[in-house]
Amino acid sequence: MQKKCKYKNSEIVIEELEGWAIEDARRRVRYHFEELRAVLAEQEKTAMAYIETETRGRLCALRQQQKDLTTTRSHVAGVCIQCESILDSEDWKLLSSSEKVKEVLATLEQQQQHYGQLGPDFLSPESSIPIIFSRDNRIHIGTKIDMRVVILGLDGAGKTSILSAMRGVTLSSPPIPTIGFNVESLEYMNLVFTLWDVSGHQKFRPLWKHYYHNTQAVIFVVDASDRSRFEEAQNELSKILYERELKDALLLIYANKQDIAGCASVEELVDIFGLHKLCCARVWHIQGSSLVSNASGTLQGLDWLLTQCV
């Protein structure tokens, strides 16, 4: 009898535990999708505000064009009246007005050149607004996706050299260490990158956080030939990954200077840095690079960013 009671009691406990576990799982699922809905609602709000701003900007531009055309039309009409007045003058007055005629003709020629330079967008403005979305639900006007990228890493890792390679510029000598930052714009396929190359010197690293706002991707450059600084580089990368403003940013790591003997391979760096564990909560990729033996590696990194955006 006691055994039966114990058995029944254990069944009740198991049922209660199962019920609790199921309810807890349901609660977590509901919470997850509530968060997703909240994020999507905020993204929709941001996108709609962006569209409203774009529409107002276009309307202002059209109104200004209309004013400019009205002014120009009045100017041309005035010139035509002036020409008719000169032509109706007596011959001797007409001859004495030759300089004035030249001025009037020059003005007409300028107006003709001005209208000849106007593109189809001015003469027949697009009635629709071309919109594309990136994978993170950001809205973009036009046919290209804008991406803000911050390039970080220790001093001497090769950040500026990587940036130059992206732009197709071959450096004839080692670049001067960056003081502060460099910023470059780069079009690649259907992406438009704004690349912020920030100094990696120790005294500038506390300033990195000022470049994180609205950043969609982080490029972290590691000097794979300098094993003595791997721990330092790993510590800095860890700090970056814990930054709240970068929690949704893509992470592209360049294992740079692969041409130097004794450098760590991509696979080695993954193990040494513990990247699978360190980057488990985000989208990341590591790419070998060398401006001597594998310059294409730099562009392969951009290709990866491209695939993550569209």
Please give the annotated binding residues for GTP, written as ranges: 153-160, 200, 256-259
Rounded CA gap, 204 and 250, in Å? Answer: 23
- Of 136, 145, 131, nearest to 51 by C-alpha is 131
**Those residues with Cβ within 8 angstroms of residue 162's Cβ, 6 or more apart along the chain or in another chain:** 151, 219, 221, 254, 256, 289, 291, 298
SS (H, E, C) 279-301: CCCCCEEEEECECCCECHHHHHH
Binding-site residue ranges for Mg(2+)? 160, 178
**Dmax over Cα atoms in the chain, in whole Å?**
137
- E strands within 24-88? none
CB 149 within 8 A of CB 195: yes
**Those residues with Cβ within 8 angstroms of residue 68's Cβ, 6 or more apart along the chain or in another chain:** none
Binding-site residue ranges? 153-160, 178, 200, 256-259
